[in-house]
Chain A
Amino acid sequence: DAGVIQSPRHEVTEMGQEVTLRCKPISGHDYLFWYRQTMMRGLELLIYFNNNVPIDDSGMPEDRFSAKMPNASFSTLKIQPSEPRDSAVYFCASRRGQGRDEKLFFGSGTQLSVL
């Protein structure tokens, strides 16, 4: 398996522009997570899905952020409009089921810079 695939790897945009980050989870995984990582705040959970349904979006910072999972193999995180404080590394992660052997698999992340 290719692992969790994120695109783009790097994104540079100007304040006010719309940004869309993409994620393909590992096939067969039914949980998908979006995280944000900054030097100041570390790794923060933004939202997670189970079987394509959003379960907890309490970590989404504000209404400018939205996430969708239209099918089991694809998810997007959108920021509209983007602001400089959104600059961070955004990670997508997935896992299979729930139980004793839970393991999160992370993608390589998207480095977002909002100028």
Chain B
Amino acid sequence: DAKTTQPPSMDCAEGRAANLPCNHSTISGNEYVYWYRQIHSQGPQYIIHGLKNNETNEMASLIITEDRKSSTLILPHATLRDTAVYYCIVRAMDSNYQLIWGAGTKLIIKP
């Protein structure tokens, strides 16, 4: 079973910030939080990952709470092309490579 909980769907207006929440209350100290997204008819695409500090790259920002039990992915200026399913995954860096994919959040960007 996936170790994360995400809302099944969300809407966001084009040009606004999209904030996608993820709960991972059982996360272990050595587990990273990863975000991927899957645009319709494409393979999943890596977005960002982090351990405990907030992270930012050209695609998004990742905010992790101090207790690490939840995180938020922020797309600062959502466009129609950001419509996709967003997956939040936790994984220990020293484990064999088993990303457990949940159902994700279907994010719909509206014009």
A interface residue numbers (CB < 8 A to B): 4, 31, 33, 42-45, 48, 55-56, 91, 93, 95, 98-100, 102-109
Contact check, A99 vs B93: say whether CB atoms are below 8 A apart.
yes
13 more contacts with CB within 8 A, not counting A93-B43, A93-B44, are A42-B101, A55-B96, A55-B97, A56-B96, A95-B97, A99-B93, A102-B49, A103-B46, A105-B46, A106-B45, A107-B43, A109-B41, A109-B43
Known A42-B103, A99-B93: A104·B44 in contact at CB below 8 Å: yes
Count residues of chain B with CB under 8 A from any CB of chain A.
16
CB contact between B42 and one of A44, A103, A104, A108 (< 8 Å): that residue: A108
Contact check, A42 vs B44: say whether CB atoms are below 8 A apart.
no
> Which residues does chain A contribute within 8 Å of B21, judged by CB atoms?
none
Bound Cα distance A107, B102 (Å): 20
Q: Separation in Å of the B21 CB from the closest CB of chain A?
A: 19
